[in-house]
């Protein structure tokens, strides 16, 4: 800690888990050309690090996820976003692996981001915070691994934006990781996905309470804009089948149409709830910054447009996973990664999981997905002389039936 370190709001001070100040070993040079002298990363761990530090798995979270992957969330009181995946007898078995999940750089739950105090002004960074990229997030995570003394991660695993971080790790620091599991992700953010993000950002920026990004100074929150951004995004995380099964055209608490603009349909009511609850746990400026980081992601562009060059000679074992009904990161996007890995004759497995739950399938109880991931990690663990284990069945109701909590 130094005197110039950003101060955290009281809420963040009271968050459980770890928070480490980094930057003493040198400033973090960002892709945008600016540098962060000091920055903080908040992280959570599950399980025990073994004696030779060979059993660590880094879990990378998605756009609005956070470090609380497998425990009751301190703000929402809901289960962690990957509780189905992390724990004893689960694919990321905490009896065998040491699981680390950090809040990304630019996030709003303890890691340095636009919500934090800018040491130069004593006020919240807001839009003065430098724009960050997926690569910057990964470089910050690497600093965290250095801090933890972990030279080589057993695996890096993540879905959606987390999958982008996994690809970035494999490409930039192949010697620091054993296996890479990019799930429901793409080698670059598509025009359609940038378009959806832009709708969300415009909704936030059109909210008068956004106040050109300075809303924290005046104690306001652009609730309406952020809620609309979340509602739009949320639709893209589901599938037509999932929406139909969950809601159909059923009406909400009424027998007939109102012939007005109230939430007549259950799906409307659901989206309004999703938007409203999101505002309570996420920062609008962080949303702008992190969506931008995803938009900028194009791994092949860093390698003269040849994605295979990102993986040339890679010693990393890859397992690429996609879901049939994911229209945000559809299987053809995953295949682009696989084809590039083939071209580099990398060690790659690729599985497309049959699911009608859309993009959010990676967060849910999909037994085939869990079996595949467990089998892949077991195969690698065996190779390294680490213990292996079969999955234990999940309890029938694991609090995961609510499709699409955090994507």
Partner 1 sequence: MKPVKRPKKDPANLTMSAQHPEAQHSRTIRPDLQLIADMIDDGSRVLDIGCGDGLLLSYLVEEKGVIGRGMELSQEGVNASVTQGLSVVQGDADSDLNTYPEGGFDYVVLSKTLQATRDPRAVLRQLVRIGSYAVVSFPNFGYWRIRLSLMFNGRMPDTPLLPEPWYETPNIHLCTIRDFVELCMACGVVIEEAYTVGAALRPRPIRSLHTANLCGQDGVFLLRKA
- Nearest residue to 368 via CA among 82, 65, 91, 83: 91
Q: CB 307 → partner 1: shortest distance, Å? A: 11
Binding residue for partner 1, selected from 48, 280, 382, 398, defined by CB under 8 A = 382
- Residue 326: active-site member: yes
Q: CB 249 → partner 1: shortest distance, Å? A: 32
> Which span (146-154, 186-194, 356-364, 374-382) binds partner 1, by CB under 8 A?
374-382
Site track 273-312 with partner 1 (rule: CB under 8 A), x = hit: ----------------------------------------
Q: Does 317 bind partner 1 (CB under 8 A)?
A: yes
Distance between CA atoms of 359 and 362, rounded to whole angstroms? 7
List the catalytic residue out of 197, 234, 359, 370.
359
Binding residue for partner 1, selected from 89, 130, 379, 399, defined by CB under 8 A = 379
> How far from 323 is each of 55, 87, 362, CA to CA, in Å?
28, 23, 8
Q: CB 93 → partner 1: shortest distance, Å? A: 15
- Residue 359: active-site member: yes
Size, binding site for partner 1 by CB under 8 A: 28
> Which span (205-213, 259-267, 272-280, 366-374) binds partner 1, by CB under 8 A?
366-374
Q: Does 380 bind partner 1 (CB under 8 A)?
A: yes
Q: CB 245 → partner 1: shortest distance, Å? A: 22
Binding residue for partner 1, selected from 112, 372, 400, 407, defined by CB under 8 A = 372
Torsion of CA 90, 92, 96, 99, to 10 degrees: -140
Distance between CA atoms of 356 and 21, rounded to whole angstroms? 42
Q: Which is nearer to partner 1, 233 or 319 (CB)?
A: 319
- Residue 18: active-site member: no
Q: CB 340 → partner 1: shortest distance, Å? A: 8
> Which span (48-56, 238-246, 273-281, 378-386) binds partner 1, by CB under 8 A?
378-386
Q: CB 244 → partner 1: shortest distance, Å? A: 24
Q: Does 242 bind partner 1 (CB under 8 A)?
A: no
The three-state DSSP-derived secondary structure of the chain is CCCCCCCCCHHHHCCCCEEEEECCCCCEECCCCCEECCEEEEEEEECCCCCCCCCEEEEECCCCCCCCCCCCCCCCCCCCCCCCCECCCCCECCCCCEEEEECCCCCCCCCCCCCCECCCCCCECHHHCCCCCHHHHHHHHHHHHHHHCCCCEEEEEEECHHHHHHHHHHHHCHHHEEEEEEECCCCECCHHHHHHHHHHHHHHHHCHHHHHHCCCCCCCCCHHHHHHHHHHHHHHHCCHHHHHHHCCCCECCCCCCCCCCCCCEHHHHHHHHHHHHHHHHCCHHHHHHHHHHHHHCEHHHHHCCCHHHHCCCCCCEEEEEEECCCCCCCHHHHHHHHHHHHHCCCEEEEEEECCCCHHHHHHCCCHHHHHHHHHHHHHHHHHHCCCCCCCCCCCCCCCCCCCCCCC
Q: CB 56 → partner 1: shortest distance, Å? A: 20
Binding residue for partner 1, selected from 74, 89, 119, 375, defined by CB under 8 A = 375
Q: Which is nearer to partner 1, 40 or 167 (CB)?
A: 167
Judged by CB under 8 A, the chain residues 318 through 357 that form the site for partner 1 are: 319-320, 338-339, 342-345, 347-354
List the catalytic residue out of 160, 239, 325, 407.
160
Binding residue for partner 1, selected from 93, 364, 376, 405, defined by CB under 8 A = 376
Q: Which is nearer to partner 1, 124 or 320 (CB)?
A: 320
Which residues are designated catalytic?
160, 326, 359
> Rule CB under 8 A: which residues touch partner 1?
317, 319-320, 338-339, 342-345, 347-354, 368, 371-372, 374-376, 378-380, 382-383
């Amino acid at each position: 800690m130094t005197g110039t370190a950003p101060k955290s709001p009281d809420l963040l001070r009271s968050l459980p888990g770890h928070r480490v100040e980094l930057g003493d070993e040198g400033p973090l040079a960002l892709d945008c050309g600016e540098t962060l002298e000091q920055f903080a990363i908040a992280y959570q761990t599950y399980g025990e690090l073994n004696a030779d530090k060979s059993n660590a798995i880094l879990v990378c979270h998605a756009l609005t996820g956070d470090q609380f992957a497998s425990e009751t969330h301190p703000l929402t009181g809901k289960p962690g976003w990957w509780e189905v995946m992390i724990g004893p007898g689960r694919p990321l078995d905490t009896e065998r692996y040491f699981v680390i999940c950090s809040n990304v750089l630019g996030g709003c739950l303890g890691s340095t981001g636009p919500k934090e105090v800018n040491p130069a002004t004593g006020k919240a960074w807001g839009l003065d915070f430098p724009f960050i990229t997926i690569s910057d997030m990964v470089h910050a995570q690497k600093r965290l691994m250095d801090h933890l003394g972990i030279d080589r991660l057993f695996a890096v695993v993540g879905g959606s934006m987390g999958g982008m971080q996994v690809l970035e790790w494999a490409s930039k620091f192949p010697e620091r990781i054993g296996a890479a599991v990019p799930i429901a992700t793409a080698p670059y953010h598509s025009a359609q996905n940038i378009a959806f993000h832009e709708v969300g950002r415009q909704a936030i920026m059109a909210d008068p309470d956004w106040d050109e990004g300075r809303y924290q100074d005046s104690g306001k929150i652009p609730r309406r804009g952020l809620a609309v951004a979340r509602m739009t995004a949320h639709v893209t995380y589901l599938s037509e089948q999932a929406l139909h099964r969950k809601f159909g055209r059923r009406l909400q608490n009424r027998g007939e149409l109102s012939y007005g603009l109230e939430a007549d349909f259950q799906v409307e009511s659901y989206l309004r709830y999703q938007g409203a609850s999101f505002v309570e746990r996420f920062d609008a400026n962080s949303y702008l910054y992190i969506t931008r980081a995803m938009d900028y992601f194009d791994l092949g562009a860093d390698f003269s447009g040849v994605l295979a060059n990102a993986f040339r000679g890679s010693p990393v074992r890859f397992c690429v996973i996609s879901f049939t009904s994911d229209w945000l990161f559809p299987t053809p996007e995953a295949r682009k990664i696989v084809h590039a890995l083939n071209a580099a004759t990398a060690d790659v497995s690729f599985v497309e999981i049959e699911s009608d739950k859309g993009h959010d399938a990676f967060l849910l109880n999909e037994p085939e997905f869990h079996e595949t991931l467990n089998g892949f990690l077991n195969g690698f663990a065996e190779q390294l002389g680490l213990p292996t284990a079969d999955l234990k069945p999940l309890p029938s109701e694991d609090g995961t039936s609510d499709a699409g909590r955090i994507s």
